[in-house]
Amino acid sequence: MNPVYYHILHVFSLFVLTAHTFMAFANPLPENRKKTLMITGIAGLLVLVSGFGLQAKLLAGAFPAWLIVKLVCWLGLMALGGIVYRRPQLRGGLAFAALTLILIAIVMVYVRPF
Ligand code: HEM
């Protein structure tokens, strides 16, 4: 498949994952938990699948260190949406953590420090 489709899927599913994670931070009502976890779970899976699609197409299967850092950021971002329903009082800190993880993942792909 043309890597441009993986790029589109990667960025689009990242928007969906980020939007729904921040919707959970803004309004962590228990009745929304199931829907949020379903949407962030599917979007997160699509981020991962498209990310590995890009890795196979653009990096010829190589696994540089910046990609491992992105994987860790992805794992963290996936967890935050679920945590806020159990600890809603922490949502300010969780939102800051989410922004930090997203920033690190973006810096990794554009700067590639290692
Ligand atoms: C917090 C999570 C993530 C964020 C914010 C993120 C962000 C991005 C962005 C902005 C791009 C550039 C897209 C473009 O230029 O069209 C990109 C590309 C890419 N991402 Fe991610 N990503 C994340 C997670 C992942 C994961 C889990 C993987 C999986 C292994 C991955 C693998 C890749 C690869 C291989 C590329 C293409 C690099 C290239 O152009 O050579 N990303 N990502």
Q: Encode pLDDT of 3-35 as tens digits.
A: 999 999 999 999 999 999 999 999 999 999 999
Whether residue 20 contacts residue 84, with contact meaning beta carbons closer than 8 Å, is answered with no
CA angle 112, 13, 113 (to 5 degrees): 5
pLDDT at 45: 98
Phi, psi angles (nearest 5°) of residue 112? 45, 65
Atom 11 of ligand 1 has which residue's CA nearest to it?
A: 109
Q: How far is the CA of 59 from the centre of ligand 1 (A)?
A: 12
Atom 18 of ligand 1 has which residue's CA nearest to it?
A: 109
Q: How far is the CA of 20 from the centre of ligand 1 (A)?
A: 19
Tell if the pTM clears 0.75, that is, is over it: yes
> What b/e string do you get for 74-94 counting C-beta neighbours within 10 Å, with b at 16 or more?
bebbbbbbebbbeeeeebeeb
Cα-Cα-Cα-Cα dihedral sign, residues 67, 77, 97, 109: positive
The residue-averaged pLDDT of 54-65 equals 95
pLDDT digits (tens, 9 = 90+) for 67-109: 999 999 999 999 999 999 999 999 999 999 999 999 999 999 9
- Ligand 1 contacts (CB < 6 A) are 7, 10-11, 14, 47-48, 51-52, 54-55, 58-59, 67, 70-71, 73-74, 77, 101-102, 105-106, 109
d(CA 6, CA 50): 5
Residue 51 pLDDT greater than 90, yes or no: yes
**Domain limits, the chain:** 3-111
pLDDT digits (tens, 9 = 90+) for 32-49: 999 999 999 999 999 999
Please give the structure tokens belonging to residue 47: 């981020």
Atom 8 of ligand 1 has which residue's CA nearest to it?
A: 106
Residue 1 pLDDT level (bands cut at 50, 70, 90): confident
